[in-house]
């Protein structure tokens, strides 16, 4: 995993008011940062600039201390954890997690593949499910398979774009607890976008509050909670 540094990041679409306006955030290696704010405040735009799907109008983005403004998404080695998980239904959990290593043809021996997949599965508590297909898994298990895939390819960070927004309240609560537990055991650099206050206050090491493209404050949930 790696640190992510945003230095005075600006995004302008056309000549309107900036969607993201002079945002600076230092995300430490292993830190879990939540971007929160109302619809339209610039959360998705910021995430898409980090991933590389959107050009940065001004400012600098560093991953692991290296400038990546001009780098293509695949060269940034970030893992998006999608709402719909994007797993292969016909492959087992093992093969879904192994997929990035299979793609890197010849780079990994079969023993290495097994070792890495088993290691990730252990971390994510998926060991008993390795021979199952994604269709038979719970939402939380599927999300963990997607994370396993990112772990075996040594992704620099996880990016979450409102991963719980389409779930009903009960499932959302379960998934929130699950992500919170994983966050503590994995130590992965993560950027997590949500408009949900409860998620923001329960999940992150730090919460960055955006309003109309401007960073209002960034602090631990505790500091935010205790302030008047």
Give the binding site for ligand ADP (CB under 6 A).
Answer: 13, 19, 37, 39-45, 48, 51, 53, 80, 161-162
| 20-27, strands of its sheet edge to edge | 20-27, 4-11, 58-63, 66-67
Report the residue number, 26 or 162, with the smaller CB distance to ligand ADP.
162
Report the residue number, 16 or 228, with the smaller CB distance to ligand ADP.
16
Alpha carbon 188 to chain centroid distance?
Answer: 9
Report the residue number, 109 or 216, with the smaller CB distance to ligand ADP.
216
Q: What is the C-alpha to C-alpha distance for residues 86 and 109, in angstroms, rounded to an integer?
A: 25
CB 148 within 8 A of CB 55: no
Report the residue number, 53 or 177, with the smaller CB distance to ligand ADP.
53
CB of 194 to ligand ADP, least distance (A): 10
**3-state DSSP assignment of residue 187:** coil
Report the residue number, 22 or 162, with the smaller CB distance to ligand ADP.
162
CB of 106 to ligand ADP, least distance (A): 25
CB of 146 to ligand ADP, least distance (A): 12
Q: What residues does 6 pair with on adjacent strands?
A: 25, 61
10 Å Cβ neighbour count for 163? Answer: 26
CB of 127 to ligand ADP, least distance (A): 28
CB of 6 to ligand ADP, least distance (A): 14
H, E, C per residue of 142-183: HHHHHHHHHHHCCCCEEEEECCCCCCCHHHHHHHHHHHHHHH
10 Å Cβ neighbour count for 103? Answer: 9
């Amino acid at each position: 995993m790696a640190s992510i540094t945003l230095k005075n990041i600006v995004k302008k679409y056309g000549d309107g008011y900036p969607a993201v306006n002079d945002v600076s955030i230092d995300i430490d290696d292993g830190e879990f940062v939540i971007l929160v704010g109302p619809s339209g405040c610039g959360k998705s735009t910021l995430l898409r600039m980090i991933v590389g799907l959107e050009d940065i109008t001004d400012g600098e983005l560093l991953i692991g201390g290296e400038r990546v403004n001009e780098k293509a998404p695949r060269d940034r080695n970030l893992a998006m954890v999608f709402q719909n998980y994007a797993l292969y239904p016909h492959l087992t959990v093992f093969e879904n997690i192994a997929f990035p290593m299979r793609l890197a043809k010849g780079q990994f021996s079969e023993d290495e593949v097994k070792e890495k997949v088993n290691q990730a599965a252990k971390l994510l508590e998926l060991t008993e499910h390795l021979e199952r297909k994604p269709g038979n898994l719970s939402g939380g298990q599927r999300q963990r398979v997607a994370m396993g895939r990112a772990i075996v390819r040594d992704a620099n960070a996880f990016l979450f774009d409102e991963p719980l927004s389409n779930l009903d309240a009960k499932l959302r609560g379960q998934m929130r607890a699950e992500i919170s537990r994983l966050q503590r055991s994995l130590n992965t650099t993560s950027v997590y976008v949500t408009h949900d206050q409860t998620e923001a206050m329960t999940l992150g090491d730090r919460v960055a509050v955006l309003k109309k493209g401007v960073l209002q404050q960034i602090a631990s949930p505790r500091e935010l909670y205790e302030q008047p």
